[in-house]
């Protein structure tokens, strides 16, 4: 399931909140547990221990006072001690016993822990036993005090004293047992509270560390999720500086991944548009340069052609006047040859400068190429060159200017022938390639260097000594006027010129603009 960035960030923050919340809840629960134990210690065990300690102290004091009054010979002092023993000690002991049982009842109402309740039941039972033993102790003590007041025999007093001492020992033993039980319980509660505190401290530290680690992981995850934004920002900055080749590598499938892919598509579109604009600028610059060159060539040709005609005519007249003078005629023939060469150059300049707009009509391109091949075959054979034609049989009719296109192809064939003065082979191929017509002229000559291929269609650029450099430039101009393109590339052995023309639907009623429109 694909989650959005906001959802993932929300889930990450929720995990952090839940983790820290769990740590807090755990800490509160354990602190409450420790607090309950400390409450048992402070509000129950400590007061009970104090009560039992007071009972033990009072009982010890009473035992000492009883032994003293039995041995006291002064009747008035003995009577005073008996009054104190009857009034003071029983009241204090009963108050402490009642206070102890009240504390047990209060503790039982505040706890639901089964173990604590069982302990309180045991303490309450011990207090009840103490009450019963104390009642029997008071009864025996009262009998002894009465006999002492009546002046009983020494043997009877001794027997009662012995019985009272037994009850005192039994009562003291039970008080000490209760005190020991409370002390053990108090130590246990304190120990367990301390142990629970240690466990809680360790657990809280571990959970807090885990929460911090979770927070760090969520932070790293969030940074990793948002890191492509920095790449996108850098990419936008590069695009703003005109670096349209910049691409961002984002492999995520979320919104940022979609944005990255759209950014790459935009950058590619901008790069393609910039490339097209650059090509258009180069084409415009080349067209302006060609126009300027054409105007200059026309002007130069016009200024040179008329004097050349006059020189040629005067040379012919001079030849008629010289009569039979072979040496002079050879010089005149050389002059006439140079005049013809210069005239041919000026005609080429004029053709380049005055290339008319193509007059387009639907033509059978296969028939045109076959006629051109037959027309040049004898010329090729005379130069030791074999011309091969590969013309597809299902070629559609195309809108072309047959004369101009024939002239352009002838320039390519002638250029290939001149590149192989020692003979060779030429292939002339025509086929449909998608929405374009593809024509190729390939030779087995030396080929064209890559450095020269960039300028091969520039006016006046030629790799042949004595060439005008206008043939290929004129061919490129013809192809471009037809809405096509031409390029030079390395062939299997020599050079290959590729011409591609657009294929238009053969609808006679459809308006197709010419180059002049």
The number of distinct structural domains making up the chain is 3
Within this chain, do residues 205 and 254 fall inside the same structural domain, yes or no?
A: no
Within this chain, do residues 319 and 413 fall inside the same structural domain, yes or no?
A: no
Within this chain, do residues 465 and 365 fall inside the same structural domain, yes or no?
A: yes
CB-CB contact of 123 with 178 (8 Å)? yes
In a domain, 113, yes or no: yes
Q: In CATH, what number is assigned to the domain containing residue 12?
A: 1.20.120
Structural element, H or E, at residue 293: helix 255-322
Within this chain, do residues 478 and 462 fall inside the same structural domain, yes or no?
A: yes
Within this chain, do residues 112 and 75 fall inside the same structural domain, yes or no?
A: yes
Both structure tokens of 352: 């380049």
Count Cβ neighbours within 10 Å for each residue of 296-330 and write b for 16 or more, e otherwise.
ebbeebeeebeebeeebeebeeebeeeeeeeeeee
Within this chain, do residues 340 and 395 fall inside the same structural domain, yes or no?
A: no
E-strand stretches of 381-472: 385-391, 398-400, 424-433, 436-443
Closest CA to 121 of 135, 101, 96: 101
As a whole number of angstroms, the distance between CA 369 and CA 386 comes to: 16
Distance in Å from the first CA to the final CA of the chain? 57
In a domain, 150, yes or no: yes
Residue with the two structure tokens 């020992």: 169
Q: Mapped to the 3 state alphabet, what secondary structure does 147-167 carry?
A: HHHHCCCHHHHHHHHHHHHHH
Within this chain, do residues 72 and 191 fall inside the same structural domain, yes or no?
A: yes
In a domain, 237, yes or no: no
The last residue of one of the domains, among 321, 354, 387, is 354
Q: How far is CA 241 from CA 245, 260, 263, 340, in A?
A: 11, 18, 15, 57
As a whole number of angstroms, the distance between CA 84 and CA 161 comes to: 18
In a domain, 194, yes or no: yes
As a whole number of angstroms, the distance between CA 257 and CA 496 comes to: 45
The last residue of one of the domains, among 354, 376, 405, is 354
Tens digit of pLDDT at every position of the chain (517 positions): 566 667 767 777 788 788 778 777 877 777 777 777 777 777 777 888 888 888 888 777 777 777 776 666 666 776 777 777 677 777 888 888 888 888 888 877 877 778 888 887 888 888 888 888 888 877 777 777 777 766 655 677 677 778 877 887 888 888 888 888 888 888 887 887 788 777 778 877 887 788 788 888 878 877 777 777 777 777 778 777 777 777 777 666 667 777 777 777 888 788 888 878 877 777 676 666 666 666 665 666 556 666 767 777 777 777 777 767 777 777 777 787 777 777 766 666 656 555 567 778 888 989 999 999 999 998 889 889 999 999 988 888 888 888 888 988 998 898 889 888 888 999 999 999 888 899 999 999 888 877 777 767 776 666 665 555 667 878 888 888 888 888 888 877 888 999 999 986 434 334 333 333 3
Domain that holds residue 347: 244-354
Within this chain, do residues 295 and 385 fall inside the same structural domain, yes or no?
A: no
Within this chain, do residues 144 and 258 fall inside the same structural domain, yes or no?
A: no
The pTM score is 0.41
In a domain, 508, yes or no: no
In a domain, 309, yes or no: yes
The DSSP bridge partners found for residue 385 are: 424
In a domain, 364, yes or no: yes
Q: In CATH, what number is assigned to the domain containing residue 413?
A: 3.30.565.10
C-alpha of 428 from chain center: 54
Within this chain, do residues 272 and 407 fall inside the same structural domain, yes or no?
A: no
As a whole number of angstroms, the distance between CA 413 and CA 378 comes to: 13
Within this chain, do residues 293 and 424 fall inside the same structural domain, yes or no?
A: no
CB-CB contact of 510 with 491 (8 Å)? no
The last residue of one of the domains, among 354, 374, 392, is 354
**Rounded to the nearest 5 degrees, what angle is found at the Cα of 512, between the Cα atoms of 435 and 485?**
45
Contacts of 479 (CB under 8 A, 6+ apart): 408, 485, 486, 499, 501
Closest CA to 224 of 258, 259, 254, 247: 254
Per DSSP, the residues of 193-261 read HHHHHHHHHHHHHHHHHHHHHHHHHHHHHHHHHHHHHHHHHHHHHHHHTT-TT--------SHHHHHHH
Within this chain, do residues 463 and 314 fall inside the same structural domain, yes or no?
A: no
Residue with the two structure tokens 């009072």: 58
In a domain, 32, yes or no: yes
Query: Mapping DSSP to helix (H, G, I), strand (E, B) and coil, where does residue 57 land?
Result: helix
């Amino acid at each position: 399931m694909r989650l959005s960035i906001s959802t993932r960030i929300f889930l990450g923050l929720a995990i952090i909140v839940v983790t820290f919340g769990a740590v807090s809840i755990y800490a509160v629960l354990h602190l409450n547990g420790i607090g309950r134990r400390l409450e048992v210690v402070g509000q129950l065990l400590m007061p009970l221990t104090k009560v039992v300690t007071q009972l033990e102290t009072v009982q010890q004091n009473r035992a000492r006072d009883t032994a003293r009054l039995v041995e006291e010979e002064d009747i008035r002092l003995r009577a005073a001690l008996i009054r104190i023993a009857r009034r003071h000690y029983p009241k204090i002991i009963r108050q402490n016993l009642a206070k102890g049982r009240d504390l047990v009842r209060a503790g039982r109402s505040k706890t639901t822990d089964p173990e604590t309740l069982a302990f309180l039941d045991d303490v309450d039972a011990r207090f009840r036993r103490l009450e019963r033993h104390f009642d029997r102790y008071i009864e025996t003590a009262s009998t002894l005090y009465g006999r002492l007041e009546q002046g009983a025999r020494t043997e009877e007093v001794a027997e009662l004293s012995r019985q009272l001492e037994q009850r005192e020992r039994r009562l003291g033993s039970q008080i000490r047992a209760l005190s020991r039980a409370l002390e053990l319980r108090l130590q246990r509660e304190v120990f367990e509270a301390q142990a629970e505190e240690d466990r809680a401290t360790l657990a809280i530290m571990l959970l807090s560390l885990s929460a911090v680690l979770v927070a760090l992981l969520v932070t790293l995850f969030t940074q990793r999720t948002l890191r492509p934004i920095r790449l996108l920002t850098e990419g936008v900055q590069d695009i703003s500086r005109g670096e349209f080749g910049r691409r961002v590598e984002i492999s995520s499938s979320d919104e940022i991944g979609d944005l990255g892919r759209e950014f790459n598509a935009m950058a590619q579109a901008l790069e393609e548009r910039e490339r097209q604009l650059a090509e258009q600028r180069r084409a415009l610059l080349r067209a302006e340069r060609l126009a300027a060159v054409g105007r200059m060539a026309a002007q130069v040709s016009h200024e040179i052609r008329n004097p050349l005609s006059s020189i040629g005519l005067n040379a012919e007249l001079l030849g008629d006047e010289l009569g039979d003078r072979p040496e002079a005629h050879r010089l005149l023939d050389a002059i006439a040859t140079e005049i013809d060469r210069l005239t041919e150059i000026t005609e080429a300049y004029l053709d380049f400068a005055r290339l008319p707009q193509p007059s387009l009509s639907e033509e059978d391109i296969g028939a045109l190429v076959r006629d051109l091949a037959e027309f040049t075959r004898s010329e090729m054979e005379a130069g030791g060159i074999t011309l091969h034609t590969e013309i597809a049989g299902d070629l559609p009719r195309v809108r072309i200017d047959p004369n101009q296109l024939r002239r352009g192809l002838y320039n390519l064939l002638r250029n290939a022938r001149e590149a192989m003065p020692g003979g060779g082979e030429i292939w002339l191929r025509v086929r449909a390639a998608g929405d374009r017509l593809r024509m190729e002229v390939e030779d087995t000559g030396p080929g064209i260097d890559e450095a020269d291929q960039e300028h091969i269609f520039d006016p006046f650029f030629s790799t042949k000594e004595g060439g005008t450099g206008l043939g290929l430039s004129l061919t490129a101009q013809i192809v471009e006027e037809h809405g096509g393109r031409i390029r030079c590339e390395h062939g299997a052995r020599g050079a290959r010129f590729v011409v591609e023309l657009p294929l238009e639907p053969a609808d006679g009623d459809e308006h197709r603009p010419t180059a002049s429109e």
